[in-house]
């Protein structure tokens, strides 16, 4: 997922030729039932997880059994579905199984999450996403694309038939309308990021019962919609 290149590094007092690590990038088209649908610009790993997550978060499937066949070739990805239709968004069902988080647990998870972002630390060219319980990170992926990182995490969970209604999605990216859509489609009740949130994302979260948290870092956070977070003493 990274490669070493020769660069000319310029600082205030020095110009030097050095070696540096940069992120690898690949472009690969997706065909659904032989129709070109999308083109991924992504990191060259975990393509099955990426495509599975994309199919779920973009509304192409709701169950893993709707995917009849998948072929990940170097030049293209072929997917065959039982039906070529897209599902509408549905409100997140808040149940007793949905874990009630608190700010302290979120801060602890975000610290662990940030420390796992090795490729970002080495190259500065990756986004990260993770699926977590209240106590630990279950799946973690990095990718050059913020949507791709999220799709890989969710695709991995869906392939493993992991239930998502008591999990939290952590990400390094801005929480846009499209990112929030992805979480709602798979029924994740909480999304938290160290970055900012858009107004359309907030509106969607409030409409579909998603707990939405931005700027979760350094013992602070902004909560834009709250269905599950609990606070000490209340």
Domain boundaries, the chain: 103-225
For residues 229 and 110, give the distance between their C-alpha atoms in angstroms, rounded to a whole number.
15
Q: Confirm or reject CATH 2.60.200.30 for domain 103-225, answering yes or no.
A: no
Confidence class for position 96, pLDDT limits 50, 70, 90:
low
- Strands (E) across the chain are located at 2-10, 15-23, 26-32, 35-42, 67-72, 77-81, 127-132, 137-143, 168-171, 190-193, 211-217, 220-225
51-69, pLDDT tens digit by residue? 999 999 999 999 999 999 9
For residues 91 and 79, give the distance between their C-alpha atoms in angstroms, rounded to a whole number.
28
120-167, pLDDT tens digit by residue? 888 888 999 999 998 899 999 999 999 999 999 999 999 999 999 999
Q: Which residue has the tokens 């956070």?
A: 221
Residue 100 in this model has a pLDDT that exceeds 90: no
At 178, which helix (H) or strand (E)?
Answer: helix 177-186
The pLDDT of residue 19: 95
**How does the average pLDDT of the chain come out, rounded?**
93
The pLDDT of residue 229: 87
- Strands (E) across 35-154 are located at 35-42, 67-72, 77-81, 127-132, 137-143
Phi, psi of 180 (to 5 degrees): -65, -40
Count of Cβ atoms closer than 10 Å to residue 100 Cβ: 16
Q: Are 40 and 161 within 8 A, CB to CB? A: no
Residue 213 in this model has a pLDDT that exceeds 70: yes
Q: Are 175 and 181 within 8 A, CB to CB? A: no
The pLDDT of residue 228: 86
The pLDDT of residue 1: 85
Confidence class for position 232, pLDDT limits 50, 70, 90:
confident
How many percent of the chain have pLDDT more than 70? 97
Region 80-84: what's the mean pLDDT? 91
The pLDDT of residue 234: 55
pTM score, whole prediction: 0.92
* CA atoms within a 13 Å half-sphere pointing along the CA-CB vector of 48: 10
């Amino acid at each position: 997922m990274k490669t070493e290149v020769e660069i000319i590094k310029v600082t205030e007092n020095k110009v030097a030729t050095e070696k540096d690590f940069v992120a690898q990038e690949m472009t690969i088209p997706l065909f659904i039932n032989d129709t070109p649908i999308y083109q991924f610009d992504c990191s060259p790993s975990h393509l099955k997880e990426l495509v599975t997550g994309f199919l779920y978060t973009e509304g192409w499937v709701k169950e893993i059994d709707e995917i009849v066949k998948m072929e990940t070739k170097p030049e293209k990805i072929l997917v065959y579905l039982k039906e070529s239709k897209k599902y509408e968004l549905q409100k997140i069902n808040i149940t007793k199984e949905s874990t009630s988080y608190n700010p302290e647990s979120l801060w602890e998870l975000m610290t662990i999450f940030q420390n796992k972002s090795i490729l970002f630390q080495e190259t500065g060219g990756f986004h990260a996403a993770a699926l977590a319980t209240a106590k630990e990170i279950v799946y973690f992926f990095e990718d050059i694309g913020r949507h791709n990182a999220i799709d890989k995490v969710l695709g991995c969970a869906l392939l493993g038939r992991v239930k998502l209604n008591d999990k939290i999605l952590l990400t390094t990216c801005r929480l846009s309308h499209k990112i929030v859509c992805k979480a709602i489609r798979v029924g994740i009740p909480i999304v938290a990021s160290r970055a900012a949130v858009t107004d359309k994302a907030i509106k969607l979260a409030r409409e579909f019962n998603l707990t939405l948290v931005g700027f979760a870092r350094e013992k602070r956070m902004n909560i834009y919609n709250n269905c599950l977070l609990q606070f000490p003493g209340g």
